[in-house]
Chains A and B, each alone.
Chain A
Amino acid sequence: MRPITKLIAAAAVTAMAAVPALAEDSIYVPNLSYRTGPFAATGIPLMDGQRDYITMLNERDGGVGGIKIDLEECETGYSTKKGVECYERTKEKATVTQPWSTGITLGVLPKTNTDKIPILAPGYGFSPMANGKVFQWAFNPPASYWDGASMIMQYIAGGKMESLKGKKIALLHLDHPYGKEPIPLFEAMAAKYGFEFLPVPVGLKEMQSQSAQWLQIRRARPDNVIMWGWGAMNSAAIKEAIASGYPMDQFIGVWWSGHDGDLKSEGAAAKGYKSISWSVPVPDAPVMADVKKYVLDKGLSKADPENVNWVFYQRGMVISMILMEAIGEAQKKFGVKNVNAEQVRWGLENLDVTEARLKELGMSGMVPPFKTSCANHTGHSGAWMLEWDGAKFVKVSDLLQADASLIAPLEKTNGDAYAKAHAPWPVNENCKAM
């Protein structure tokens, strides 16, 4: 035989001889992750945390309720187009969708009622998704962006919201659905409490060079700068803030702008930078010991062992925990091990993560307890203010709670407006009105 023919024959035989791996029964959980692109730096520790927690459960307990979890990552690079592509590719067997981008969430949200796969967007996505009456298939526990905005303002006001009158608050945000999400609430709060709200957008292409934005901030001299950044925007903003001499203790970021990796390179110069967060790294938590034992020491993790005490890594674990709790609840309620998407939806809607349960999981102190229900798809757990001390993030406040009186009406009106714009949109009439 001619050499090329031999080669082709060999390849054919190998392909045929490869025995397909016997796929044991498992729950398929896709993750629309990004490990490439300008947002990879912030995405990777989160996705590592998610992955390692599930690997740990698979190794230690054989999965959840006796069945293994098959977590598959699909690379989106934060692009809405690839995100929708990944969603379409994985939706056959998927029990949940984890879009990891507010833009992708908005792209997938209209299809949830027809495709019937729940969206789990912990701490991101469309804030009105809390309104479970309208968004039956979308969940964003444990806190939404509007919660975060409210809590940050409460922290700034020191609990006395009247003291905000006359202040100037700038919102340095990514010019993307994610960054624009909290603006309606900020405008409502500015109108109610009498402070001046100044939105400062950073375009996707100018994330790395924010000199124009920081010049604007320097001229405006706001009392506080709140950052709604992600990916490369975070580190560039912090560098510019230090370079332009903006006082770090007046600079507060949302939970996605509190990344150890961004601040490590600045170190002590960034001391005083704060970030609100519903997850706190607890290095000596029992669950961390388990992750070390079953995953890191066995070499089953892609994460850098130095970074396992980063805020984002442990937040990824918390996020996986939320999903696993939902799966566990669904297994108990429906009496089946291999739960499907509809059952996981029920699980997400009936979460009750109590202090006692967190202790059982070995995650005490990592996340505030919260409870979801059909009217409340967020849980509104509250959050802590973290501060960078030069080397790591430390808790500097008690548990802050969002002001529901301002947020709940907005959730209702915006939810109804979305349903109207996407008519016909099925609404869960059985849900008690919010």
Chain B
Amino acid sequence: MLYRIAGQYKTSYTADQALFPVRQDAILLGIILVIAYVVFPLTASEYAFKALLLPVLVYALAALGLNILTGYAGQLSLGTGAFMGVGAYACSKLTTIFPEMNFIVAVLLSGFFSAGIGVVFGIPSLRIKGFYLAIATLAAQFFLVWLFEKWHWLNNYTSSGAIETRNFSMFGYYIAGPLAPTVVKYYLALVVVTLVTWLALNLTRGNLGRIWKATRDMDIAAELIGIRLMWSKLYAFAVSSYIIGVAGALFVFVAGDGAEPNAFDIPLSFTILFIAIIGGLGSVMGNFLGAILIVAIPAMLNDIPPLFNLTLESDVQEYINQILVGAMILFFLIIEPLGLASFWGLIREKLIIWPFPH
């Protein structure tokens, strides 16, 4: 009844090839964009921005990058944290060497460094698959974090090895760094994420996306029909690492205020991988849902006991949070092993035929 798609005729090829051909999907997207661009900036507190919205955006972007590599192209990678680090350090060095460079340009350029490194560490994928490839990318993870610590030129010779964020301004207003208003940083991240998501959506439903899916599903058959596996896999690594690098630069300069090399370690890689898996491999929307579950919900759990006037000890609270998040992940994976995106897909299918059962 609500999601009736019958009667929506397309009368031109352009209309048929629209990103969201079903009107209700488009309306839903419109509502989400209005909430993101208008409602949140007006109503969210600074804490909500810093602890919930910005991390969700950045982690979802990184998961989007990983999803392209693992979900669409089928190349398992555990080096996400390190590639984020490459993006972050590249942005830091670019803005140090070229202080007048526009911050947004620096962020977009730093992705290329990450893409280059990603391609280098993606070369093993031409010979090995699955878990073995995961180990090869794990080598990238360890090596790059070691490099961040030891190569002092990268972190501008600070004693802590951390990236230090200065204030960046554009047209006379601060857009990044401690002096920038949080709302401005939120818009910056939101615009970058929207742009990259739109690009990813189009990329994955186009020719390249189909090549990747063929590589994922049965690479031998793909090779037989003429797909050049080397280019397919290396493109996947390049595009994926570009997005992850941009996410890394945003992670340090916009969502946070600096990061030490340890921040890009294995736990970050696993977090992004879990977001991609729980959100749904091979989907774009799933990354956002997964990020909300893994990043935002644990932070919001801390605010629930005060609603019931319960004060829990901090360590008890922490343990309860971990138990609850684990239980939620288990629950969602049991009811829909393919992830939250396909859970939404199921709900959507039911909504389309509702109120009829079939």
Contact = CB atoms under 8 A, between A and B. Distances in A.
Interface of A: 15, 18, 20-21, 33, 35-36, 40, 73-75, 77, 80-81, 84-85, 88-89, 92, 102-103, 106-108, 110-111, 113-114, 126, 175-177, 180-181, 183-184, 204-205, 302, 414, 418, 421-424
Nearest to A102: B160
Given A21-B309, A85-B50, A85-B51, A204 B166 contact: no
Contacts of A424: 167, 179
Contacts of B256: 81, 84, 107
State the majority secondary structure of interface residues on A. Answer: helix
5 contacts: A15-B307, A20-B309, A40-B315, A106-B258, A114-B179
A15 B256 CA distance: 36
Contacts of B317: 75
Contact of A35 (B161, B265, B299, B314): B314
A111 B315 contact: no
A107 B159 contact: no
- Most B CB within 10 A of own CB, among A73, A110, A175, A414: A110
Contacts of B314: 33, 35, 73-75
A88 B315 contact: no
A126 B162 CA distance: 12
B176 to A, nearest CB: 12
Contacts of A81: 55, 256, 263
Nearest to B49: A88
A33 B178 CA distance: 24
B262 A180 contact: no
A175 B263 CA distance: 12
Q: Bin chain B's interface residue count.
A: 35 or more
Contacts of B179: 114, 424
The 5 closest A-B pairs by CB, nearest first: A35-B315, A177-B160, A75-B314, A73-B314, A110-B178
Given A80-B263, A113-B178, A177 B258 contact: no
B95 to A, nearest CB: 11
Given A106-B162, A111-B178, 17 more contacts: A18-B308, A20-B309, A36-B315, A73-B314, A80-B263, A88-B46, A89-B47, A103-B260, A110-B177, A126-B160, A177-B159, A177-B161, A183-B159, A414-B159, A421-B166, A422-B177, A423-B167
A393 to B, nearest CB: 26
A312 to B, nearest CB: 17
Contacts of B166: 421-423
Interface in B143-167: 149, 156, 158-162, 164-167
A73 B299 CA distance: 15
Contacts of B265: 204-205
B319 interface: yes
Nearest to A108: B257
A80 B318 CA distance: 15
Contacts of A414: 159
Contacts of B159: 177, 180-181, 183-184, 414
B313 interface: yes
A88 B309 contact: no
B164 to A, nearest CB: 5
A75 B318 contact: yes
B206 to A, nearest CB: 36
B281 to A, nearest CB: 25
B88 interface: no
Contacts of A103: 160, 162, 260, 262
- Most A CB within 10 A of own CB, among B158, B265, B315: B315
